[in-house]
Every structure is written in C-alpha cells, then in structure tokens.
Structure 1
Amino acid sequence: METIQRRHTATLTAEALVIAYMGIIALAAHITGINLLLFPELAALSHDVMTRPGGKWASQPWRLILTPTMTAIVGLFITRHASYGAVASAVIALLALAVIKLLRSAIGPAISAGVLPMVLGEKSWLYPVSICAGLVGLVVLLLAFKRWGPRVEASSGSSARHSEVVDALEAYPHSRFWVLSLLAFVLVLGAAAQITGLRFILFPPLVVMAYEIFGHPEVPGWMACPIFFPIVCFLTALIGVLADQAFQASSLAVMLTTLCSIAVLRAFRVHMPPALAVGLLPFVMTAPNIWYPVSVGIGTVVLVLCFWARRSFQRSYATVAAEEA
C-alpha cells in the first residue's frame, strides 16, 4: 500500500510539473510574440516522459529534441512550396516517417510537427526554432526530474505491465502494410478537409494517433473502450476552445486546459498522449470556434472505424489462411 501511495504521489508531482511547464511555455510565447513556442504536441511529450521517465520516449532525450525539429523543417519546407491539400499532407507524413526511420527514433509525435505548418499555413522559419527551444527545455526538466525527483515507474505488477504495453505502442511499427493504411487514411481525410474547408478534420495529432494504432493493431489496452475515443478527443478540443475564449489564450488558460485534458484521459482510462495536444491546438489557431471540436470528432470517428475495419479484415484473413493450411 505504501509503495502504491508513493507511486501515486510521484505521478501527481510529475503531472503538476507538466502543467507548470506548459504554463511557462505559454508565458514565453506571449512575451516573445512567437505563438508556436506553444507547440501542442509538447504537452503530449511532456506528460509521457515525466510520468514515465524510464519509458521509451524518455530514454531517447536527444532524439526527443532532434526528431520533431527535423520533421518541422521538412513540413515547413513543403508548406512554403506547396498549397494546402491532401497530397501535400501525405507527402509530409511520408517524409516525417522517413526521418523517424533514419534516426531510429520512437518519437511518433514528430509527425505532428511536420503536418502542423501545412494545416496552419505557417511559413516562418521561427517555427522549427521554437519547437527545438521547447523540447530543449523539456529535456532539461526531464533530466533534473530523473536525478532529483521521486520514482514514477513500478518494477512489477499492473503498473509495469501497463508500461510495457505503452512502450510497445510507442515502438516503431512493424505491422504489415501499416504505411499504406496510414497514407490512405491521410489522403482520404485530407481530401475531406480540403473539400469541406474544415482543415482540422485531419488535425495533426490525429496523424500521430493513426500512426500508433495502424502500426500496432496487435497491442492490447490502448483504451478500455475504443468507442469512447472520439468523445475523449471532442471533450479535450472543446475544453481548449472554451478556455481560449474565456481566458484570452493566457498561461492560466493553457494550464487549465492541460489539467482538464489529463483528467479526461484519466476518467476514460486512455493512454494516448497526442489527445493532450488536441486541447492545446486552439491556442495556436486563428479564431477557434465550435467547428474545431466538431472536426476533431469527425476525424476520430473515422479513425476508430478504420481501425475496426482493418482489424476485422486481418482477423478474417488469418482465419482463412489457417483453414487453408
């Protein structure tokens, strides 16, 4: 019981540091006028590495900085030379995957860093510099927490099993045809976003979620009940919009959004760090409104349906193959 209590206290301490760090980043963005210092996936990365300092992402501190920075450069370059569209988004996603592969990195949220400039229409070279600065700060905080902070990881029991599942989910994908599935998903939703004008039907963290889910369909426990996943993302998106409007994109609004988003993930028993980024996207958007959470809901519903369809097909194929053998 005492060990469980220590773990609980350590986790709460780590989450408090994440909320405070996001508030500091938001303040820095306000003071400097560099809005994209508040890179939304920074919340996802921060929460995972601080609550799991022995996890896969936290074990690659230099790749944690380098991978998103390089994909951000790739995404910005494409955005500066191509108009918004499904094909351009798919090209960025493919190049981001190549960067992850070349660096032997486990940092899936780097894909979001590549896609974000295309969705926002961002063309300033300050964008990758801002991402790099935020990640350097995160790594400094992580290393300090590892040295002086309380232990968060458990060595046995359900916590250890959960951590093993999460590490497997964050490993580089090895599922058959996962790249084709991911690119098809990006192209279809990108086309829908392009036709409807609702760009955030294909919001950047959704590509990261698709990368993790399509690449690891055999990993159990990514969510207690997948049907609730669109609700989780809709709620975090709505929280972000409401906080942005109520508190004028202040540090308080960012901290409150991060806190509430963590609470939502806990309530629904889901470990999907990119969902935290969903709540922070309104703070880097121009005039976010109700269409943002609606678009997020549409995109996540399609992802869950695609995941179920792909898993059903794979099981049917395996059954037929077994019968023929």
Structure 2
Amino acid sequence: MKQTILERKTVQTIAETLVIAFIGVVAWTAHSTGIALLLFPELAALSHDVITRPRGKWANQPWRLVLTPTVTAIIGLYLTRHLSYGALNIALIVALSLICIKLMKSTIAPAISAGVLPMVLGERSWLYPCAIFLGLALLAIVFLLWRQFGVGNDHPSRSEAEHSELVDALEAPAHDRFWIIGLMTFVLILGAAAQITGLRFLLFPPLIVMAYELFGHPEIPGWMKHPVLFPIVCLLTASIGLITHHALHANFIAVMTTVLCSVVILRLFDVHMPPALAVGLLPFVMTAPDYRFPLSVLLGTVALTLYFFGYKRLRQRYSTEFVPENFVKPQNA
C-alpha cells in the first residue's frame, strides 16, 4: 500500500531530525573530549544520505561506509606528516584514495574528502583516523537501527523512485572514459591556485567529492541541472556555518543549527547535494575561520562549474570528431 504525500513528508522530516540529533551528539562529544575531528564534516553528508535513503547505494554497504574513509584518512594523514601542502601532494592523496575505493569495491566518495582533509587542515595527529572510525561506526549503528526499527519508506512514489535511481547512479563507480583525466587536472589547477594564493579552501575537500561525481557521470544532470544553484547553495551553507560558529561559540548547538539551516536550504532549492552539508561544518574543524572561507567556497564552486561545462564541451567535440562523416546508423533488420 502506497504512502500518502503527508506520510512520506513525515518520514522525511523524522529522518532529517534524526540526522540533526546524531550530528549534535557527535558535536557534543567532540566538544567535551577536545577531539574536534570527531566531527568529521562528511559525517553530515553521509548521515543525511543513508538515513533519508535507507535503501540507497551508500546505505547498502554499511561496513564499507566505515572502513573506506578510515583507510583513506590513514593514507592522507601519513602523507601529510611527511609532505608539505601543495597541489601535487593533494593530487597524490586523491589518486591513492581513488585506488583505495577501487580496491575495496566501494562507492563511498566522501572517503576522498577524508584523505584530503588532513593536508588542508595541517592535521598530524593519529587521533584523526581513530576519530573518523569512531564517528562512522556510530553512524552505522544508528543507521542499522533506523532501518530495522524506524519509519521506512518502502513504497515511494514514482517521482521519488526516479529521483533515488538518479542519486544511486551518481553514487555508482565512475564510468566515463576520460573522467580521471578531467578530475586530476581540475585538482592540480585549483590546488595550484590554492597554494599560490594561500587560500587553502579554494579546493575544499567536499568540492573534490562533488567533482568526482560530476566527471564520473557527466551525462547525469543531478544538482547540475540548474548549475547556478551549485555555488549559491554551497556559499549559503558555508556562510551559515561561519556565522553560527562565531555567534554561538562553536558548540554543539551551533553545529545543530548549521545542519538544520543547511537541510532547509537543500529543501528550498529542491536539490540532493549531501556534500553541501559537509561544507557548513568545515568552520568547526578549522583554526580561526573568517570571511576568506565562504569566499574561497564561492570561488572554488564557480571554478568547478565553469571547468565542468568546458570539460563536457571538449568531451562532446572529441567524440564527434571521431565519428566518420559517411557514418550511417544501421537500421534494425
């Protein structure tokens, strides 16, 4: 029996409330213990996706959800302890994270962010991968309990089912022929700009996750159906995170307020963009965040948008050039 629209919206609201409460508990624990990186920003993205879509692709691999970001976090931290900040070193971490995702047969793209974050923040403590593991293990437990005993949406509407299929396609392994070239070139270019200007968050970690989704699946519109919304949504969540961080003294109330406002923004713009939630939490793991953070986010997202459309045009032109002029599509016999 299909759920009514009201019932489906109620389930969605309960799920998002659970996400906010979960992040609040993690933030309170991080504040109480002094281990700030227990609040791994991508926890917001991962928890929102798996709890609101309990039958989705990320949700169907709970152990990889825990292990993949933990392994990439160890890789990223090890390289950060031995290498200085720079575009080439960021690209190396991204490449190794992608290899790790491939070898583990995982689709947990935020693991890339877990690998890059230590380099961007200058984090050198081995508590970092431990914090990643603990936060994700708690998320896996909460999610499994929610899927088992919570209010499920086993009978989605046709539009919801189609939307979920689209999101699953974006979270599937990349399949575009030249995606790795497009992604790594983008990382090197924007990483070099971040290195030269000193604005490390020009290439903020969730941006690399979004770039991975775009270049791996360029034919899927997703949240790029209205590309102007991409920089606006990320700018808004980044600004809210910065404002609440300063106004509410970076406590768990500020974190919960940030996630709540970010969820509302995604609803208002009607987009499924989990990494935008992670953007809002970045100020809570940064040292003395200021106006340069949302400015960097805006410039980075605009750069990705322009680069992506340039990449798509070049890709289409390249494909067209290799089609013979006298090619005739065969008809069915």
The TM-score range, normalised by the shorter chain, is over 0.9
Alignment correspondent of 2:216: 215
Alignment correspondent of 2:285: 284
**1:285 partner letter:** M
Give the deviation of 1:323 after TM superposition.
5.3
- Distance of 2:93 and 2:240 partners within structure 1: 29
Alignment correspondent of 1:90: 91
Alignment correspondent of 1:192: 193
Alignment correspondent of 2:106: 105
Could you tell me whether the CA contact under 8 Å between 2:97 and 2:112 is conserved in 1?
Answer: yes
Change in Cα spacing, 1:153 to 1:256, as seen in structure 2 (3 Å) is: farther
State the Cα deviation string for residues 197-246 of structure 1 (Å, max 9, x = none): 00000000001000000110011333441122111111100000000000
State the Cα deviation string for residues 112-170 of structure 1 (Å, max 9, x = none): 00000000000000000000000010000001101111113544400000000000000
Change in Cα spacing, 1:269 to 1:224, as seen in structure 2 (3 Å) is: farther
Q: Give the secondary structure class of the aligned counterpart of 1:53.
A: coil
**1:98 partner letter:** I
**1:311 partner letter:** K
Aligned residues: 325
**Which residues in structure 2 correspond to 1:194-273 (within 5 Å)?**
194-273=195-274
- Distance of 1:42 and 1:100 partners within structure 2: 18
- Distance of 2:300 and 2:89 partners within structure 1: 18
Give the deviation of 1:313 after TM superposition.
1.8
Could you tell me whether the CA contact under 8 Å between 1:186 and 1:207 is conserved in 2?
Answer: yes
Alignment correspondent of 1:49: 50
Could you tell me whether the CA contact under 8 Å between 1:202 and 1:299 is conserved in 2?
Answer: yes
- Distance of 1:17 and 1:223 partners within structure 2: 28
- Distance of 2:319 and 2:180 partners within structure 1: 20
Could you tell me whether the CA contact under 8 Å between 1:67 and 1:105 is conserved in 2?
Answer: yes
- Distance of 1:48 and 1:153 partners within structure 2: 16
- Distance of 2:101 and 2:301 partners within structure 1: 24
Could you tell me whether the CA contact under 8 Å between 1:205 and 1:274 is conserved in 2?
Answer: yes
Give the structure-1-normalised TM-score: 0.97
Q: Give the secondary structure class of the aligned counterpart of 1:218.
A: coil
Alignment correspondent of 2:5: 4
Q: Percent identity?
A: 61
Alignment correspondent of 1:162: 163
- Distance of 1:9 and 1:75 partners within structure 2: 40
- Distance of 1:120 and 1:281 partners within structure 2: 10
Give the deviation of 1:12 after TM superposition.
0.6
Which has the higher Rg, Structure 1 or Structure 2? 2
Give the deviation of 1:290 after TM superposition.
0.7
**2:313 partner letter:** S
Alignment correspondent of 2:331: none
Q: Give the secondary structure class of the aligned counterpart of 1:222.
A: helix
